[in-house]
Chains A and B, each alone.
Chain A
Amino acid sequence: MTKRFSIASVFRHGALVLMCVLAIVPLYWMAISSLKNESEIFTSSIIPLKPTLGNYTYAFTQMPIVRMIVNSFGISIMMTMLQLTTSLLAAYALVRWRFRGKALIFSLLSVTWLIPFQAIMIPNYVLINDMGLNETWLGIVLPFCVSTFAILSLYQSFQSFPGVLIEAACIDGLSDWGILTRLILPNTRSTVASLGIIQFINAWNEYLWPMLVTKKMENAPIQIGLKLFVNSDSNMWGSLMAATTVSCLPILLIYLVLRRQIVDSFIRFGIK
C-alpha cells in the first residue's frame, strides 16, 4: 500500500515538474540569452558567463522601446476603462429591469462569440481609415471598447447580488444611478477589478488589429514593434531576446504581484 502510494506520488510530482519545466524554460532561455555577449549567444551554456547589458542598449537604440511601452500602456488602459464602463452600465440594466427586447439583446450578445475578427476586419479597417484614425491610440481602441465577454461576466456576478439590498436602497430613496455607483459597485469591487485585469492583459497582447492600424514603430504598441524587429534583424538574437524580455516584463510583474487574483479570475470568467 505504502509502495503504491509512493510510486503514484513520484509519478504525480514528475508530471508536474515536467509541466513546470516546459512552461518556464522558454522564459528562462529568453532571459539568459538577452544577457549573453556575442561570442556566447550561440552556445548552449545555461548561465551567462560574462553577463552584459549590451543587448539591451542595442535594442533600445534600434527601436523606440520606451515610446512603444507607453503606447501599450495607454492603449490597454483606455481599452480596459471603456470596456468596464460600457459593460457595467449594460450588465446593470440587464440585472435590474425587465423590459421588452431583453431576449433579443441577450442573443445579440451571445452571437458575437461566433464572429471571428477576420470576418469584420475589412469594414472596420475601412471605417477607421475614413475617420482618419489610423496610427492613433483611438483607432486601435475604438473597435474594442465594448466586450460582450465583460458584459456577460458582470451580468453573472451582479445576479448573485442580494435583491433585498437593492429594494432597501430603493425605499431609502437612492436613485437607480446611485444604486449602481454607491451600492453595487463598492460591493463588487474585487470582481470588477479582476475582470479589469483580464481585459488589460488581453488588450496588452492584442495582435492583428494593432498591426493593421499602425505601420510606424513610434505609433505602435510594443507587440507590433517586436514583430517588426523579429522580421528585420534575424541575426541579432541577443537584442531580440532583450526586446522580448522588455515586452513581457510589465505583464510578468503584474502577475508576480497579483498571482492569486489573476488565476482565480481566469478560472471564474474563462477566456475570451
Chain B
Amino acid sequence: MSKTIENLYAPPLAGKSEPLRQPWHQSKLWRRLKPYLYLLPAVALLGIWMYRPLLYTFYLAFHKWSMVPGTAKVFVGFDNFSRLLQNKSFVEAIGNTVFYTVGLLPFSIVIPLILAVVTDKMNDRMKNFYRALFFIPMILAPVSVSAIWRWLFHPSNGVVNHLLLKLGLIEEQIAFFSDASWARWIILFITGWKMIGFSTIMFAAALTSINREYYEAASIDGASSFRQFLNVTVPLMSPMILFMLTMSILFSSQWTFAYIDILTTGGPYGSSTNIYYEMYRFAFSNLNVGVSSAAAMLFFLAFGVIALALNAVSRKFAFYDN
C-alpha cells in the first residue's frame, strides 16, 4: 500500500516527460471533499435528530395537534403562547424552575468550593480515597437513586422518619412526597446530593493547578487564610467557578426532571413541577402538542439569552493565570 504511494511521489525520471496520471484519490476535488466526508455522519445525524426536530417544534408551536397519526395540524397563530401564559400550573412551574435553579447553587458551587479548599492540603492517598467515595452518587442512575430515596423518606416506614422521631425532632411522621411544603425541597435535596461530590472534585482539580507561590507571597504579606481564599483562590478559580455556574443554571431544570417524574409527578397540586416536566405532561398526558412546543420554543430562547449573558460574564470576569 505505502509502497505504491511512494512510487507515485517519486520524481519522474529525466527524459521521460510523460505527465503523471493523477488517480482519483489524489485529485484536487477529492482532497477538498474529504473533510466534509469525515464530518458527514456526525453532521447528518445532528441534522436529523437535533436541528430538524428543533425547527419542527417551532413549527408545531403555531399549530394545534394531538400527535394522532393522520390527523391534520391546524394553524392557530400565537394561540398556544397566550394559552400557555394563562395556564396557572405553567406560571407556577416557572416559579419552581427558578427555585430549583437558585436552590441548587449551594450544592453545585458554595459547599463544594469550601470542601475543596478545606481538603486541599491532604495527602494524595487520602484524597483519592475520599474522591472515589464522593463520586458514587454521580454515576448512579436517576431511577435507582429515586427508588432508594423513596424508601429512605417513606412516610411510615422510612429510616429518615424513624431517626427524626427517635431524636425527638418531629412529633409525627412526615409524608415527604405528598406534603406540598416538603416535596420540592426533597427533590432539590436529591438533585443536590447527586451533584455535590462531583462539583467538589471539579473544584479540587482546579485548585491543584494553582501555583503555590501566590499563597506564600500572600502569607508573607500577612494575609489571613480567609483573605487568601478571597483574594487568591477565588480569582484564580474563577474560570472553573463560572463554568460550573453556567452548567448549574442551564441544566438544573433538566437534572430534576427524572426525580419529579418518579417521586412526585409534579405534585402535590403542582408544587414540585418544573417547566420541562410541564412540557412533557402537555405533550404526553394531555396530547396537546402545540402548547408543549410553544413552551419549548419560549424556553429555548430564554435559556439561549441566559447562556449568552453568562458567556459574556465569563469573558469579562474570568481571570486566567498565564
Contacts and interface: CB of A to CB of B under 8 A. Distances in A.
Contact of B135 (A16, A146, A207, A263): A263
B interface, size bucket: 35 or more
Interface string B235-259: 0000000010001001001100110
Interface stretch (B84-92, B300-308, B312-320): B300-308
B131 to A, nearest CB: 6
Interface residues of A, number: 92
B60 to A, nearest CB: 7
Given A29-B159, A208-B258, A124 B53 contact: yes
Contacts of A94: 39
A108 B198 contact: no
A11 interface: yes
Contacts of B162: 44
A244 B145 CA distance: 9
Contacts of B257: 118, 207-208
Contact of B53 (A24, A96, A123): A123
A159 interface: no
Interface string A229-272: 01100000100110110011001100100011011001100110
Contacts of B254: 116-118
B141 A27 contact: no
Interface stretch (A47-55, A170-178, A184-192): A170-178
A23 B145 CA distance: 11
Nearest to A124: B53
Given A19-B196, A116-B303, A270-B202, A33 B151 contact: yes
A125 B292 CA distance: 14
Interface string A150-189: 0100000000000000000000111110100000000000
Given A146-B41, A172-B2, A223-B144, A122 B276 contact: no
Interface of A: 11-12, 15-16, 19-20, 22-24, 26-27, 29-30, 33, 41-42, 44, 85-87, 89-90, 92-94, 96-97, 99, 105, 108-109, 112-127, 129-130, 142-146, 148, 151, 172-176, 178, 201, 204-205, 207-208, 212, 223-224, 226-227, 230-231, 237, 240-241, 243-244, 247-248, 251-252, 255, 259-260, 262-263, 266-267, 270-271
A224 to B, nearest CB: 8
B115 interface: yes
How would you classify the secondary structure of chain B's contact residues: helix, strand, loop or mixed?
helix
A97 B37 CA distance: 12
B42 A226 contact: no
Given A24-B133, A226-B144, A230-B146, 7 more contacts: A12-B122, A27-B136, A29-B152, A120-B49, A122-B60, A123-B53, A142-B49
Contacts of B140: 27, 205, 248, 251
B139 A23 contact: no
Nearest to B147: A244
25 contacts: A19-B130, A20-B130, A29-B148, A85-B41, A86-B42, A89-B38, A90-B39, A93-B36, A118-B254, A118-B279, A119-B297, A120-B54, A148-B46, A173-B5, A175-B1, A223-B143, A227-B143, A230-B143, A231-B262, A237-B157, A241-B147, A241-B151, A248-B140, A255-B139, A263-B201
Given A86-B42, A89-B41, A223-B143, A19 B299 contact: no
B96 interface: no
A267 B208 CA distance: 12
B34 A176 contact: yes
Interface of B: 1-2, 5-6, 9, 25, 32, 34-36, 38-39, 41-43, 45-46, 49-54, 56-57, 60, 67, 69, 115, 118-119, 122, 128, 130-152, 154, 157, 159, 162-163, 193, 196-198, 200-202, 205, 243, 247, 250, 253-254, 257-258, 261-262, 276, 279-280, 283-284, 289, 292-293, 296-297, 299-300, 303-304, 307
A264 to B, nearest CB: 9
